[in-house]
Amino acid sequence: MQNKKWGWLELLTVLAAIMVAVNFYVGLIYAPDPSNLQTEVTRKAQHIFYYHMGMNVMAGLGMLVNFIGSVLYLLTRRRFWDAVARSAAEIGVLFGIGVLVSGSLWARPTWNTWWTWDPRLTTATITILLYAAYLMLRNAVEDPDRQARFAAVYGTFAFISVPITFMSIRLWRTIHPTVFGGGDPAAKGAFALGPHIRFAMQFSSWTFMLVFLLFLVVRVRVALLEERVMALRQQVDAQLSRGAEVDPMEHAGS
């Protein structure tokens, strides 16, 4: 396409790569094993948390950006916002699965089970299914304009239902540890927050926010390329059909 220049996308990529590399050090070596956890296995597994939370940040941002894109598409009708919404939902679902997988691998040593029917796990899964349904809906509608409209409406509903779902689980008790504010005594696997752990958490959040931004930009670029391919295909189709109309005339002339 264009001649490659050292643009801000390349800068973002390099920055994200450095952050990810440093984050390996911060999450695995710099962050101390939390002293209040009983066994060696759970202390080591606690390091998963920095990535668990990172995935969570990405999934959450994906859903938020999907909502923003959906609303802006409905208001402005610019295909760009539809591309943003579509890209964000895809990233949200993918890293939502990452949240579940990393959480499961942490729960096995800590809770002694891969999965429990805990409200927080259940609602997280429902939320991911919500956005999987969003992607399925997109797949099931051919017309691009109609697809964008339906998806934007569904994305709006989906995002607003998430906080209501999280409120509805308060009708239950949870064993999932809460890191920020309010320690439920029933929670299992919670760890004490020292300054080092706090720093590692913040660093991890920032890292994955940057990774999200990078993925979003690249995915939106892919989405715009897809749009361009569609437009070109239509153009070619139009030319071919025009050609077909012209052909018999030419034959009659010769």
Is 244 one of the binding residues for another protein (CB under 8 A)?
no
Site for another protein in 100-129 (CB under 8 A): 101-102, 105-106, 108-109, 123, 126-127, 129
Cα distance between residue 86 and residue 168, in whole Å: 28
User: CA 91 to CA 253: how far, in whole Å?
Assistant: 57
CB 187 to another protein: min, Å: 19
In the complex, minimum distance from the CB of residue 74 to another protein, in angstroms, rounded to a whole number? 6
Residues in binding contact with another protein, number by CB under 8 A:
68
Q: Is 249 in the site for another protein (CB under 8 A)?
A: no
Task: Name the nearest CA neighbour of 72 among 90, 87, 84.
Answer: 84
Site for another protein in 145-204 (CB under 8 A): 146, 149-150, 152-154, 156-158, 160-161, 164-165, 167-171
Residue with tokens 């809906």: 137
Dihedral (C-alpha) 235, 236, 237, 240: value to the nearest 10 degrees? 130
Contact window for another protein (CB under 8 A) among 4-12, 185-193, 196-204, 213-221: 213-221
Residue selected from 25, 44, 186, 202 as contacting another protein according to rule CB under 8 A: 44
DSSP element (H, E) containing 173: none
Site membership for another protein, residue 141 (CB under 8 A):
yes
Q: Are 219 and 91 in contact (CB under 8 A)?
A: yes
Nearest distance, CB of residue 36 and another protein, angstroms: 18
Residue 72 lies near another protein (rule: CB under 8 A): no
Query: Please, are residues 73 and 81 in contact by the beta-carbon 8 Å criterion?
Result: yes
As a whole number of angstroms, the distance between CA 171 and CA 209 comes to 31
Comparison of 81 and 154: residue with beta carbon closer to another protein: 154
Angle of helix 48-76 versus helix 144-168 axis, rounded to 10: 130
Out of 15, 64, 175, 222, name the contact with another protein by CB under 8 A.
Answer: 222
The token duo for 210 is 């940057």
Q: What ranges in the chain are assigned the alpha helix state H?
A: 8-25, 40-45, 48-76, 79-111, 119-139, 144-168, 195-253
Contact 119, 174 (CB under 8 A): yes
Q: Which stretch binds another protein (CB under 8 A): 4-12, 99-107, 176-184, 197-205?
A: 99-107
* DSSP letter (8 states) at residue 187: -
- List interacting residues with another protein (CB under 8 A): 1, 28, 41, 44-45, 47-48, 51-52, 55, 74, 91, 94-95, 97-98, 101-102, 105-106, 108-109, 123, 126-127, 129-130, 133, 136-137, 140-142, 146, 149-150, 152-154, 156-158, 160-161, 164-165, 167-171, 211, 215, 218-219, 221-222, 225-226, 228-229, 232-233, 235-236, 239-240, 243
